[in-house]
Structure 1
Amino acid sequence: MVDTFRSSTSLASITGPHDNDNGSPTSTGSNLEAEHEHVFRPIESRALTRVTEHEAYELMVKGFSPNYRGNPDLDRNRSAAIPPESNCSLFITGLAPTLTTHELLAGVRDVGRIYATHINAPEPDRGHNTCAAKVVFFERAAAERFYDHYAPTGFAVRTQPTHIGRVVWNRIRSAELDVGGRKSRVLVISGPPGIVNERALRAYFATKIQYQVDEVVPHQASAGEDRALIEFRFGSYRCQAESARMALAREFKEFGVFCEFGESTLPCPLAHC
């Protein structure tokens, strides 16, 4: 069946026996890094090489930290021209040095839809022995809920509770987007099992975007249908879920693949967060 599918990226050449089609345990982003050679970085990011003194100076002139790994020349990476009270971006320092995207997002529940996340790895040679993380919400109200809850006491992930991070407003500001909308970092994908399976989707997305995975959750398709249903939770909506959805719609709609943003009616009560 897989051999009948051909796209510009030749999905058939990267599909294998599909995983988790019988409701087996959810896989997380940490599984991905162990199973695949691909190194997933946020799209439009720089490789994790030590910046020169001149590069660090140029970043600071533009208002970025010398440790910033994104592309400072992209409009969406620059600080929005908004007042502080409209900022939707927070920064957390002092997190566990082995922090994963899944661990970070597992601690950000019951708050609101997340637009983007990014984890800065430790840099011991620069005196940074812990991780830092950026969390950007779609809406200011959600960002305030997170700040009000964790700024007084600190933020820690459940798996590494001894590392308590300090929560502050990010000086690189982000404005509200899609207020009251349904866009999210979660995609619900349905279609033929030869295409809609975890292994094939991971490999396909790797040919299109740089991304992080929170977790991948298989769901039971309707009885009597030869279709698969998967909930794919990316680390970010920005440049990840949004780009993956566009790619699937462009290349696989004719094969019966459908993709929607996650809804609160799915088994995870806050799947869209």
Structure 2
Amino acid sequence: MQKILVTGAGGQLGLELQAIAKQHPQFEFIFTDREELPLNDLDTIATGLNNIRPDIIISAGAYTAVDKAETEKELVDVVNHLAVAELAKWAAIHTAKLIHISTDYVFDGTSKTPLSEMEATAPINWYGETKLRGEQALLRYLPEGIIIRTAWVYSEFGTNFVKTMLRLMNEKDTISVVNDQIGSPTYASDLAEVIMAIIVSEKWEPGIFHYSNNGEISWYDFAKAIQEISGLGCEVYGVTSDQFPTLAKRPKYSLLNKTKIQETYHVVIPHWKDSLERMLTTYI
């Protein structure tokens, strides 16, 4: 029986993978978090992997606090870049497969059309820079690896935009949300399903793939949909990014072109609103 190691077990994607693991009894899943496989301690990663001996690694662990990343640069680089290099080196030596999760933040947000995997990268914050370095390390040490860039991830688990909006809408009569950052959200449950579809397929196509739910919206549009589906009475107003300054810059345009992953693995990508309704039905 093949072993699948999932890093970042306590994160949104890790928890969604735990939720669907029972649907795949042909695999033995090992879920690790900071205690079992600390990605900030590079000296212990190879030892941990030698103890587990996975056949497949899903690299879902990351430092994702985008604003805080600007003030903890060394730690962020270790987790998002150097730890990925260690995973890739081990996988190369032991002929293990590796799927690594990356982000739309590797782009600068100036595109006007959906971003393909061939688009030039140019991160505008430290989180994006370290995630790009992680991609580059993986491709250098393990050309046979797979990278999936995703965006605006949410689920019923952890901290995310949807849960924050629900909390604020219950606490306040009005909220303001930026309306000039464009992309498409990703329900972590859908992403988990796609990862498993790749693993169980008879095809292993190395390289970079893009995945998010279908559709094109702003954060304001997303918030309005959350408000409407949940039936909360809070008023949602749109504001520009310069009215809502953050420590780390955000890309203005993050819409990912999903053609490659659709054509390669024949995955069905749900519309963002359909996935949001499924998540809210489960959560509320």
**What TM-score, normalized to structure 2?**
0.28
Higher helix residue share: 2
- By relative contact order (CA 8 Å, sep 6+), the higher-ranking structure is 1
